[in-house]
Chains A and B, each alone.
Chain A
Amino acid sequence: MGAMNEFKVLDPNGHTRTSWDTTSAEEVENARRVFNDLMSRGYRAFRVDTGAGEGQPRSTFDPKDKETLLVPPIRAG
């Protein structure tokens, strides 16, 4: 079993997690499908480095990213 990476989608429950084994083509493909679906709906992705408290915007899915946050579309209030 390889490294388990994940993304967290911010939602009404706080967040929902999707994780994948980096050595499993099937799991990676499933995660990519979820990622692309959300991005097509206006979500924004940020690779996060929780130690440093920093985020890096991501426009494409990289299965090697350890932790990614997906943020629903930003609207003016």
Chain B
Amino acid sequence: MRLFRYVRNGLERMLAMERFAEMGLYEDRRARERARQLLLRCLTPGQRAEFERTGTFKVRGRSGQHYRITYGTTANIEVLAPSGTVCRRLCAGPVGVPIPAMMLAQKLMLETQEAEFVRIAARGPGTTPAAGFPQFSG
């Protein structure tokens, strides 16, 4: 009876994890690893070294602004002041992808479509108010 309960509980946990995965709440390890490998391939050598060392990497927008993309799902982009301190956080990205894939999307956007990305992020509650941050017109 105890063994039956043990097996049943295990199966229920597995089914719950599958449901979470379908809902995007539980990240599949294989998916995360695939996304991580793709991210590593798409980083510059400097970014790759930084990411492997710290789990973060810096990008530079067309405006000259520097950002640090950190490993996380919420407000994971730090807007860096010239001194290197964090003056603001941005929260925007694609939904339903593993974290490394989100970081890759954020890198591509910030490096090539910075103004648009910042405008989208500004609408979200996870983005902190601007302070000493370049404003984009248009």
Q: Is the CB of B34 within 8 A of A15?
A: yes
Q: Which residues of A have CB within 8 Å of B31? A: 12-14
Q: Is the CB of A77 within 8 A of B124?
A: yes
* Interface membership of B79, Cβ < 8 A: no
* Interface membership of B45, Cβ < 8 A: yes
The contact size tier of chain B is 35 or more
- Taking a contact as CB atoms closer than 8 A, the residue among B41, B112, B122 that contacts A76 in the complex is B122
Q: Which residues of A have CB within 8 Å of B105? A: 10, 71-72, 74
Instruction: State how many angstroms separate the Cβ of A45 from the closest Cβ of chain B.
Output: 10
5 smallest beta-carbon distances between A and B, as pairs: A76-B124, A14-B34, A53-B44, A77-B91, A72-B94
Chain B residues with a Cβ under 8 A of chain A: 21, 24, 28, 30-35, 37-38, 41-45, 47-48, 73-75, 91-98, 100-101, 104-105, 107-109, 111-113, 117, 120-127
Chain A residues with a Cβ under 8 A of chain B: 8, 10-15, 44, 46, 48, 50, 52-57, 69, 71-77
